[in-house]
Amino acid sequence: MAQEIHAVFDNMNTPHLGHTDRGIIPKIITNVDGLYEGDLRHYFKVLFQKARNLTNPYHNFRHMFYVFCCCFESCQYYQNRLEKLSARQVRNLLIAAMFHDFDHSGVVGHDDLEIERAIRGLRKHVLPEDKHHLVDIEKLIRDTQFPYAVSSSELDLSGQILRDADLSQALGGVWMQQILFGLGDEMNMTPTAMLETQTGFLRRLAFSTAWAEEKFPKDHIDRKIEEVHGLLSILE
């Protein structure tokens, strides 16, 4: 399923959300594999029907669900390994991933306020069975605030997974649309100016989890840097 999840959101030949006929998203939402407690139908409905940032340039539905799907894939990765998450921890992580940018304003620069907005949305719609776990879910969301107040090495596995999933959007197949045009728009930067920042960002990019290091190895990052240089050369 991991390859299919990746294809849903980052297939180079898919400029928009596609391949949903494969049923990957419904399978994750309804928890057909029993990877976590219960299902996430309620939260998906809230996000799909009530979130106000679904069409933002970058902090949009694609980004939130890309991160969500990466977190799910990572939980699958750890399922049969010594370092694994409990079913409850997986549920907490997936809820946090789904809501980490809920109602984002679409303007970058005040991430502390964006985090508080996301948490208010979660508290408003939280299910009774998840109320006792709000502290843990909210901490995961707070740990995505950028610039980071706490080093990734100090986070537990759930926190590291969420951060790695969030960062990895820069390496996806639709990175030009999401990063150069989308994030650039939210940062009030031209696509060319955003492109010029990518080499430095990618050279500093470091993941904390074995899952992310395996999925996005150094040669993958190096190829992305080469792609950036190629595009800059063409645009000169």
What is the full DSSP assignment across 108-145? -S-HHHHHHHHHHHHHHH--GGGGGGHHHHHHHHHTT-
Q: What is the pTM of this model?
A: 0.90
Quick check: is 215 in a domain? no
DSSP assignments along the chain, one per residue: -HHHHHHHHH-TT-SSS--GGG-HHHHHHHTTT--SSS--HHHHHHHHHH-S-TT-SSSSHHHHHHHHHHHHHHHHHHTTSSS---HHHHHHHHHHHHHTTTT--S--S-HHHHHHHHHHHHHHH--GGGGGGHHHHHHHHHTT-SS-SS-GGGS-HHHHHHHHHHHGGGGSTTHIIIIIIIIHHHTT--HHHHHHHHHHHHHH----SHHHHHHS-HHHHHHHHHHHHHHHHHH-
190-199 pLDDT, tens digit per residue, is: 999 999 999 9
Report if residue 229 sits inside a domain: no
Q: Which range of residues forms the domain containing residue 30? A: 2-174
Number of other residues whose CB lies within 10 A of the CB of residue 82: 5
CATH number of the CATH domain containing 42 = 1.10.1300.10
Please report, as a single letter, which amino acid is at residue 207.
F
Residue 113 belongs to some domain of the structure: yes
Q: Is residue 63 assigned to a domain?
A: yes
Phi, psi of 29 (to 5 degrees): -65, -40
Residue 126 lies in a domain: yes
Neighbours of 73 (CB within 10 A): 20
Asked whether residue 145 is assigned to any structural domain, the reply reads yes
Digit-coded pLDDT (tens) for 149-186 = 899 999 999 999 999 999 999 998 899 999 999 999 99
Domain count, the chain: 1
Does residue 148 belong to any structural domain of this protein? yes
Q: Is residue 103 part of a domain?
A: yes
Report whether 159 contacts 140 (CB < 8 A): yes
Output the tens digit of pLDDT for each of the chain's 236 residues. Answer: 554 444 445 543 333 333 333 578 999 999 999 999 999 999 999 999 999 999 999 999 999 999 999 999 999 999 989 888 999 999 999 999 999 999 999 999 999 999 999 999 999 999 999 999 999 999 999 999 999 989 999 999 999 999 999 999 999 889 999 999 999 999 999 999 999 999 999 999 999 999 999 999 999 999 999 999 999 999 99
Q: Which of 127, 126, 130, 104 has its CA nearest to residue 183?
A: 104
Note whether 199 and 228 are within 8 A (CB).
yes
